[in-house]
Chains A and B, each alone.
Chain A
Amino acid sequence: MSDITSQSLFELTSNIKEKKLSSGEITKAFIDRAEKSKKLNVYVTDNFEKAIDQSKKFDSNPNFDLKLPGIPIAVKDLFCTNGVRTTAGSKILNNFVPTYESTVTQNLWSQGAILLGKLNCDEFAMGSSNETSFFGNVQNPVGENLVPGGSSGGSSAAVAANLTPVTIGTDTGGSIRQPASFTGTVGLKPTYGSCSRYGIVAFASSLDQAGPMTKNVRDCSMLLEVISSFDQKDSTSIDYKRNNYSKELSKDIKGKKIGIPKEYRVDNMPDEIEQLWKNGISYAKDCGAEIIDISLPHTNYALPTYYIVAPAEASSNLARYDGVKYGFRSPGQNLIEMYEKTRSEGFGDEVKRRIMIGTYVLSSGYYDAYYLKAQKVRQLIKKDFDDAFSKVDAILTPSTPSSAFKIGEKTNDPVSMYLNDIFTVPINLAGLPGISIPAGKDKNNYPLGLQVIGKPFDEQNILNISYALEDKINFKNDISDWWLRE
């Protein structure tokens, strides 16, 4: 049996069920490794002591019928966890301890999982490199001083560095898929409405969606099966019959029609990304899929549309952090001064930038030109996909226009940072499911991902296609554990 922390979720659950490993052993192994991996800065808050207790409790009365029996899992610090500090990577929630549990994390615990701790992320999930976190940047285990992507950067790094078997992130414009791509891991953003948003610190409500981040596609299907549920506490949650994703997982994609959108061949795209895409296409063909050229004509407008809609919603969603009820407060002589000081000191630059953009695009006189127009374009982008899906079963694109970049490389250039999301934001705007799987490496040996986009509620199909491609690609992450201190 290989080292515990390098095992997949599938292996760990099998070993627990076959009583080859106990929850206590597994939990301790991940905690020990985390203690030696502080340099990566993946944890904002750990829950190690309680996790040990809970694993012992599981072992004393194990229930092997559960889907995550005694499996320790760390989650992005955007999910509210009852009794465990939840910061959203922000100073303004530095001292916030929820008295309630998000539906998605509750689904994990209900299936036997144990909370290891809360993982670092960009402040309020606003960022593509985990550099906007109040708790500092995260190191990508792939290479020193590389960003792990964002906003779920702590999550992607933790999975890649074997600090948690699997994790959950949130994806508003690519925050699961881009960091997965940067770390050689698998990340899936489900259809909008698949996973409840109840108890997730909101960034942009019409785009936010929780999803699994894992080492492989099978684990991804196992975790999606647990976290996806209809929830009456979220009015945008959708009541539909969910698949048994792991049970129905299949590599047989013969005859599947896979679309290749020409608009995703963007200017200045590195050759290696182009090559990666070509390889993906030929693997899909090898699996018996039919490749069809398609057009998504409004792709160019997706990024500007996203950077109007998301900040607009964020500017309103973040109004509640005002120092009155909970979280950080900087005292003032009067209410206005308290607001100004609290929010100036409590929010970081990127969050402030987006609040200002959002406030601007919603202001009277600008609303029609920006917000309303963006909503109309959003409909056109959605229609592009509807049209495409009348011809194909899924769409294959690169996940990102580049591999992981150096820490600090783009911090002073927000627009080039935003460009990271160019292939992922259209999927959020259209509310579709999308998955990123590791598909190759660039000249520096940094991972690159391919994205498979599906029809609404068709997660099973993109999981199956990814499962088939994963087998052909046979990607091996090359992580040297450079950060470990003995």
Chain B
Amino acid sequence: MIFQTGGYVNKNSEYLIERENKQYEVIIGLEVHAQVTSESKLFSQSSTKFGAEPNTQVSLVDAAFPGMLPVINEFCIEQAIKTGIGLKAKINKKSVFDRKNYFYADLPQGYQISQYKYPIVGEGKVILDMPNGQKEIGIERLHLEQDAGKSIHDIDPNNTLVDLNRSGVALMEIVSKPDLRSPDEVNVYIKKLRSIMRYLGTCDGNMQEGSLRADVNVSVRLKGETEFGTRCEIKNVNSIKFMQMAIISEANRQIDLLEEGKDIDQETRLFDTKRNETRSMRSKEDAHDYRYFPDPDLLPLEISQELIEKIKSDIPELPDEKKKRFIDKFNLSPYEATILVSDIETSNFFEEVIKNSDVKLATNWITGELFAVLNEKNLEISQSPVSAKNLSKLINLIKDGTISGKIAKTVFEQMIDGDQDPLIIVKEKGLKQESDPKAIEELINKVIENNSDKVAEYKSGKDKLFGFFVGQAMKESKGKGNPQLINKILKEKLNG
């Protein structure tokens, strides 16, 4: 297991941190900020495209000019509802946009429009596939809010520069219940959440571009204790690896304090990735008073049952359902199915391949050879060097005996280079499997002739030598001999 350092997993699969015969449990809750996939911002028509020149995607509304008013982007509302449905959550027919007031240079309005008391989505759940079985993580709520701009401190030595391109971009804040218990569960949770949103097309989940970030709440307690300990919130962590590191470091810090008989202060902390430690950002006493109140520029958001039904009818098959179908219909193992449905692109690729080829072989080839190549080249399946069409052709060549599995691997290596057609490779290189019994018999005769000493040893009882003859025959056929046929004829010859 990765990142289980700092603690250990007991026989009941519980992640615990030990100190002098005392076992501590780690309680984790996540507030995930997921950027809504949308052409334009939550309350303005500016583009949300990533990577544009600073301050080129900023409207008068985003820059909070006098007299400018927010107008809700209905598409973002639909995206939030869609996500809520994907999280099996309650969609609130009435929700309210509030102003969260604070001053910062990259917050042009002096407030962020968010949802405080009445979020658009209520309680839901996410199912995690853990090695020891499934675990349900509760979702507390999902609400919509505006992103802030970006302050850049390291370009000009005397000034902070502000880029407002991100200002006003729609975010979904997805708040989990404190149901997570280990860095591993956090990893699986984030990946599952990301997978669901990518299936739905509501968030691209691109962590490098900041489309998915999280505030991590961590507390610890002695195993067996039922009350929660005092929690600390680690702000704005932008990769799963850093989340896991931050949790381990923060949990151990808290345990050290408890062991020293000290109290844990409820506070907001930042994770320093270089030092692998969290440090205090502000204490509870210094916590901002955000003075939330309903935004008078926006009416309460009312959602009709019709809209919910319409969105529901457009919801694609989600990972959990797809997994069940893969198991039931294709007879995959739960493990194989979990891997294949984890990402919408992967499952689409798989389904494309099996349209015209064998399921079992396809499963093995995708989770084996293809994943190895993708891993090695650090590619997403959408960038796969081998297309689903050509992979299914290769699988058919194996299935109908044109080539052996071993030859197929050679062919596959060549296919990677520019998605070549396996039929052409097999033809050009003359890799077609030799399945003519006469031809096989001929080359086996040759092997027997050349190795009469070994034949004698075999006949005197050295059964293990059979493999040697297979190898020799395969070599004689330049690897193209049909393995089943070689086996069969060899047995007849040697045992006859």
A93-B66, A335-B105 are contacts. A319–B110 as well, Cβ < 8 Å? yes
A residues 58-89 touching B (CB-CB < 8 Å): 79-80, 86, 88
Q: Is B296 an interface residue (CB 8 A)?
A: yes
Interface window among A261-269, A322-330, A447-455? A322-330
Which residues of chain A are near B67, meaning CB under 8 Å? 79-80, 98, 102, 197-202
Smallest CB separation, A365 vs chain B (Å): 9
Q: Is A312 an interface residue (CB 8 A)?
A: yes
Whether B64 contacts A320 by the Cβ 8 Å rule is yes
A residues 296-352 touching B (CB-CB < 8 Å): 312-313, 315-316, 318-320, 322, 324-326, 335, 339
Give Cα distance in the complex from A204 to B110, angstroms: 15
Whether B160 contacts A335 by the Cβ 8 Å rule is yes
Please pick, from B64, B68, B101, the residue contacting A362 in the complex, using a CB distance under 8 A: B101
Give Cα distance in the complex from A326 to B60, angstroms: 12
Interface window among A7-15, A173-181, A233-241? A233-241
Smallest CB separation, A89 vs chain B (Å): 12
Q: Is A367 an interface residue (CB 8 A)?
A: yes
Whether A362 contacts B63 by the Cβ 8 Å rule is no
Interface window among B69-77, B277-285, B400-408, B410-418? B69-77
B residues 93-119 touching A (CB-CB < 8 Å): 99, 101, 103-105, 108-111
Give Cα distance in the complex from A96 to B296, angstroms: 25
Which residues of chain B are near A319, meaning CB under 8 Å? 101, 103, 109-111
Which residues of chain A are near B104, meaning CB under 8 Å? 335
Please pick, from B66, B292, B293, the residue contacting A98 in the complex, using a CB distance under 8 A: B66
Which residues of chain B are near A79, meaning CB under 8 Å? 67
Which residues of chain B are near A236, meaning CB under 8 Å? 296-299
Q: Which residue of B lies closest to A124 (CB)?
A: B66
Chain A proximity mask over B26-64: 1 for CB below 8 Å, otherwise 0: 000000000000000000000000000000000010011
Q: Is B162 an interface residue (CB 8 A)?
A: yes
Please pick, from B64, B65, B69, B296, the residue contacting A204 in the complex, using a CB distance under 8 A: B296
Q: Which residue of B lies closest to A362 (CB)?
A: B291
Which residues of chain B are near A244, meaning CB under 8 Å? none
Please pick, from A96, A235, A315, A362, the residue contacting B297 in the complex, using a CB distance under 8 A: A235
Whether B297 contacts A325 by the Cβ 8 Å rule is no
A residues 190-221 touching B (CB-CB < 8 Å): 197-202, 204-206
Smallest CB separation, A395 vs chain B (Å): 25
Give Cα distance in the complex from A30 to B222, angstroms: 83
Which residues of chain A are near B160, meaning CB under 8 Å? 335
Please pick, from A80, A315, A320, the residue contacting B108 in the complex, using a CB distance under 8 A: A320
B residues 104-147 touching A (CB-CB < 8 Å): 104-105, 108-111
Whether A322 contacts B103 by the Cβ 8 Å rule is yes
Interface centre among B69, B99, B298 (most CB of A within 10 A): B69
A residues 86-120 touching B (CB-CB < 8 Å): 86, 88, 93, 96, 98-100, 102
Whether B70 contacts A367 by the Cβ 8 Å rule is no
Please pick, from A232, A315, A320, the residue contacting B71 in the complex, using a CB distance under 8 A: A232
Whether A322 contacts B299 by the Cβ 8 Å rule is no
Give Cα distance in the complex from A316 to B291, angstroms: 9
Whether B71 contacts A233 by the Cβ 8 Å rule is yes
Q: Is B449 an interface residue (CB 8 A)?
A: no
Q: Is A230 an interface residue (CB 8 A)?
A: no
A residues 352-404 touching B (CB-CB < 8 Å): 359, 362-364, 367, 371
Which residues of chain B are near A198, meaning CB under 8 Å? 67-69
Q: Is B289 an interface residue (CB 8 A)?
A: yes
Smallest CB separation, A88 vs chain B (Å): 7
Which residues of chain A are near B296, meaning CB under 8 Å? 204-206, 236, 313
- Chain B contact residues: helix, strand, loop or mixed: loop
Which residues of chain B are near A324, meaning CB under 8 Å? 105, 108, 162
Q: Which residue of B lies closest to A324 (CB)?
A: B105
Which residues of chain A are near B66, meaning CB under 8 Å? 80, 86, 88, 93, 96, 98, 201-202, 320
Smallest CB separation, A383 vs chain B (Å): 19
Whether B64 contacts A233 by the Cβ 8 Å rule is no
Please pick, from B99, B110, B289, the residue contacting A364 in the complex, using a CB distance under 8 A: B289
Q: How large is the interface on B (under 10, 10 to 19, 20 to 34, 35 or more residues)?
A: 20 to 34
B residues 319-365 touching A (CB-CB < 8 Å): none
Whether B293 contacts A316 by the Cβ 8 Å rule is yes
A205-B296, A316-B101, A359-B291 are contacts. A98–B108 as well, Cβ < 8 Å? no
Give Cα distance in the complex from A205 to B162, angstroms: 28
Q: Which residue of A lies closest to B160 (CB)?
A: A335
Give Cα distance in the complex from A312 to B98, angstroms: 13
Which residues of chain A are near B289, meaning CB under 8 Å? 363-364
Which residues of chain B are near A235, meaning CB under 8 Å? 69-72, 297-299
Q: Which residue of B lies closest to A87 (CB)?
A: B66
Q: Which residue of B lies closest to A335 (CB)?
A: B105
Which residues of chain A are near B70, meaning CB under 8 Å? 235
Give Cα distance in the complex from A204 to B293, angstroms: 13
Smallest CB separation, A427 vs chain B (Å): 17
Whether B298 contacts A100 by the Cβ 8 Å rule is no
Give Cα distance in the complex from A200 to B66, angstroms: 7
Give Cα distance in the complex from A357 to B129, angstroms: 53
Which residues of chain B are near A99, meaning CB under 8 Å? 60
Give Cα distance in the complex from A88 to B66, angstroms: 10
Which residues of chain A are near B68, meaning CB under 8 Å? 198-199
Interface centre among A102, A204, A335 (most CB of B within 10 A): A335
A206-B296, A236-B299 are contacts. A320–B69 as well, Cβ < 8 Å? no
Give Cα distance in the complex from A199 to B65, angstroms: 9
B residues 138-176 touching A (CB-CB < 8 Å): 160, 162
Give Cα distance in the complex from A221 to B198, angstroms: 55
Smallest CB separation, A97 vs chain B (Å): 11
Give Cα distance in the complex from A96 to B66, angstroms: 10
Give Cα distance in the complex from A88 to B65, angstroms: 13
Give Cα distance in the complex from A325 to B105, angstroms: 9
Please pick, from B65, B72, B103, the residue contacting A326 in the complex, using a CB distance under 8 A: B65
Which residues of chain A are near B298, meaning CB under 8 Å? 235-236
Whether B297 contacts A98 by the Cβ 8 Å rule is no
Whether B69 contacts A339 by the Cβ 8 Å rule is no
A235-B71, A236-B299 are contacts. A320–B293 as well, Cβ < 8 Å? no
Smallest CB separation, A179 vs chain B (Å): 21
Smallest CB separation, A209 vs chain B (Å): 13
Give Cα distance in the complex from A319 to B64, angstroms: 10
Give Cα distance in the complex from A363 to B110, angstroms: 16
Smallest CB separation, B126 vs chain A (Å): 32
Smallest CB separation, B209 vs chain A (Å): 25
Smallest CB separation, A174 vs chain B (Å): 19
Whether B293 contacts A197 by the Cβ 8 Å rule is no
Give Cα distance in the complex from A320 to B69, angstroms: 13
Give Cα distance in the complex from A304 to B103, angstroms: 28
B residues 162-198 touching A (CB-CB < 8 Å): 162
Whether B291 contacts A363 by the Cβ 8 Å rule is yes
Smallest CB separation, A82 vs chain B (Å): 12
Please pick, from A88, A96, A312, A326, the residue contacting B293 in the complex, using a CB distance under 8 A: A312
Whether A320 contacts B299 by the Cβ 8 Å rule is no
Smallest CB separation, B61 vs chain A (Å): 9
Which residues of chain B are near A80, meaning CB under 8 Å? 65-67
Can you name 11 A-B pairs with beta carbons within 8 Å?
A80-B67, A200-B67, A202-B66, A206-B296, A235-B297, A235-B299, A236-B296, A318-B110, A319-B111, A322-B105, A324-B162
Given contacts A100-B60, A316-B99, A339-B103, 6 further A-B contacts (CB under 8 A): A86-B66, A98-B65, A312-B293, A319-B109, A319-B111, A325-B108
